[in-house]
Structures are given as structure tokens and as C-alpha cells.
Amino acid sequence: MKQKIKVGIVGAGGWGFQHARAFTARKDVEVIGIFGRSEERTKKRAEEFQVPYYLDLDEMLDQGKPDLVDVCLPGQNTYEILHELLEAGYPVMTEKPLTYDLEKGKELIRLAEDKNLFFAIDFNHSCSKAVQMAKKDIEAGKLGEVIFAEWHFAQSGSFEIAHPYMDIIEAQCHGLDLIEYLCGPISSVSADMTDMTGKDSYTTFSLSLRFKAGGVGTFLGSFDAEDAYDCVQELRINGTAGNITITDNTREYICQERGQETACVWKPGIFDDENSSFGKNLDRNIDQTLRALRNGEMPPIRAERGLRALEVAWAAIEAFEKGIRVEI
């Protein structure tokens, strides 16, 4: 690998900004350009970070010869570009979700596997210090076996993308991935959803989960709340040996052993911008991803996790539409 890793960025939207910020801040990366569909927005984004902009993807690839292509597009617009990049043999990092269509998602994973390609996804929730502390404590046996888990993520939502199940596929894939990351595979699901706020989409839903290991879980996702409300996101996991709680992903982590009246609590300090900022989760994922790329390893968060989250989401959708519990 060259001294600097050449990265091409696809997408000039909100998360395209975050990725451009994170990559251009690194001394070991050269951003060879940003590709977008709108000249006005793409040019503006490129000027912000003093890199070239392109309206033709092939032109950026031919001229910049990137070592990694970073795709930051809404999930309904990713398939064609991801397929083109993987078919051409480029290492890829993509924003979540992998795609909206389950069969197309499977095709992307098969293509990457057939070519043995580096294919990463940005499930940045799992990169927070709180989640990594939880993972370490769970692996150390402090939780024991999972008896039940509770996920709550209620926020405001944007509806530029018209899809009846946008929340569970586009936003809550983070939770579907994270709850399996910490609790193990989900074996079955039932679901209820509402569109009572009239946004042409099921904007709030609840799931009843069963884990392969025997525990159960509840999952609430919503686009009908506000980001400024108290406790927008919370995860509780109760096991045979203890209990953990993660609040707002970066705000607080609590681990308490069964039978103890005291708990271990972590909160980031007032000046701890690194661990208190959700945006820095992306930086941590990029850091680990580039380290793996440089070492010739597969990414720490492989795109297969994006496919798995999509499988669980569509199982929940089937469960809701048919009014049944669906095995996964």
C-alpha cells in the first residue's frame, strides 16, 4: 500500500460531508475527489475540503485511481454504483443501509465474495466507547447469558425518500445490527407498525424478538419524536449475571453485576469531544477500516452485517404484513 491511501468519495449530501470531513482530516489519506449528481452541491462540497469534484464517476476513478471508494448515498440509490464498483474490483466502504432490496443486497455480497474484495459498511453505532465497553464486558462474562434486551431509538425523521418502511430499513438498521452484535443472532420476530402521523410511511414500529440462544427482546423505533428529547436512544441488556445500559450511544454506560447494589458507570468528561461526539464514531470506524485495508485484512465491519440487518428488517416487514411471527 502506498504511503497515503487514495480515497474517492461518492455523494455530496449530509453524510457525504461527514465522510469528507473525516477522510480529509487524516494525514495518511489523500482524497482524490468527490463525485455527485448535482454540480452546484458537489462543487460546493469539494471546495469546502479543497479537493476536486466530478460529475462522472468513471472520470474520477480513471484520473484518481483510488485505493478505496467511499459511497455515501441514501440506501435506495446505492445498488447500481456499488455493483459497478465491485464489478470493477474496487475496495469499497459504504454508508448504511446496504440497499433496500434484499435480493440485490445478496447479489452485492456474492459479487464481493466471488472477487474476494474488501467491502466495509459504516455501522458507526457499534464504534462508540460505550458499545465497545459493553462488548468487552459481555465477552468477559459479566452479563452471563442474555435473558432479555430492550432497544429504544425515537428521533425526528427526514422523508425525502418515499418508502413505506424507510424507518426500519434506513435508520433502525443500526439497532438491528447492534442488538445482534451484543446479544447474538435473532431467530424470530413479530411486528406492529403505525402510520398514524400521515407521512406515507410506517414511522413508528415495535418488534418482539427471540434470540437464537433463548432470550427475548423488545425493539422500538420511531421517526415521530424529536432529537432534543431526553433519552433519544437506549439499550438495556439483562443477563443471568448482570445488566448493562447504554444511553444515547455516547452519553453513558452502566454495568451492574447481579446481587450488587453498586454499579460501574462511565460518562465522557466535559472536554472529551472524542468520546462524547456521535460523529466521532465514524472516525473510529474509518480508522479501523483503513488499518485493515493497509494490512491486507478484511474490514472490521463487513458489508455482510448490512445484509443481515436487511434480512431481519424484511422478516419484520413480512411479520407485520401477514400478522404472524417469522423465523429468520
Q: In what order do the strands lie in the sheet with 233-239?
A: 264-266, 252-257, 242-247, 233-239, 146-154, 216-222, 204-211, 186-194, 326-327
pLDDT score at 311: 98
Say yes or no to pLDDT of 19 above 70: yes
CATH of domain 125-275+310-327: 3.30.360.10
Q: What pLDDT does residue 1 have?
A: 56
Question: Which residues fall within 8 angstroms of residue 194, CB to CB, at 6 or more apart?
Answer: 202, 203, 204, 205
Unique residue bearing C-alpha cell 443501509: 97
pLDDT digits (tens, 9 = 90+) for 302-323: 999 999 999 999 999 999 999 9
Q: What is the pLDDT of residue 198?
A: 85
pLDDT tens, 100-141? Answer: 999 999 999 999 999 999 999 999 999 999 999 999 999 999
Mean pLDDT on 236-243: 98
Whole-angstrom Cα distance, residue 20 to residue 152? 30
pLDDT interval class at 267 (50, 70, 90): very high
**Average pLDDT over the chain, rounded to an integer:** 96
Q: What is the CATH number of domain 5-123+280-302?
A: 3.40.50.720
- Give the span between the Cα atoms of 84 and 208, in whole angstroms: 37
Q: If pLDDT is split at 50, 70 and 90, which confidence band does 258 have?
A: very high
Mean pLDDT calculated for residue range 221-241: 96
Could you give the percent of the chain with pLDDT greater than 90? 93
Q: Are 154 and 205 in contact (CB under 8 A)?
A: no
Q: Is the confidence at residue 161, as pLDDT, over 70? A: no
For residue range 165-222, list pLDDT tens digits in order.
999 999 999 999 999 999 999 999 999 999 999 888 999 999 999 999 999 999 999 9
Residue in the structure block whose three cell numbers are 433496500: 100
> Per-residue pLDDT for 239 more than 80?
yes
Q: Which conformational region is residue 173 in: left (phi greater than 0), alpha (psi within -120 to 50 degrees), or beta? A: alpha
Task: Report pLDDT for 179.
Answer: 98
Spatial separation of the C-alpha atoms in residues 158 and 1, rounded to whole Å: 39
Domain boundaries defined on the chain: 5-123+280-302, 125-275+310-327
Find cell 462540497 and name the residue: 45
In 114-185, DSSP assigns E strands to 119-122, 146-154
| pLDDT tens-digit map of 55-102 | 999 999 999 999 999 999 988 889 999 999 999 999 999 999 999 999
- Angle between helical axes of 102-114 and 304-322 (0-180°, round to 10): 160
Residues, the chain: 328
Say what the pLDDT of residue 162 is. 77
Decide if pLDDT at 30 tops 80: yes
User: How would residue 15 be classed by pLDDT, with cut points 50, 70 and 90?
Assistant: confident
- At residue 301 the predicted structure's pLDDT band, cuts being 50, 70 and 90, is very high
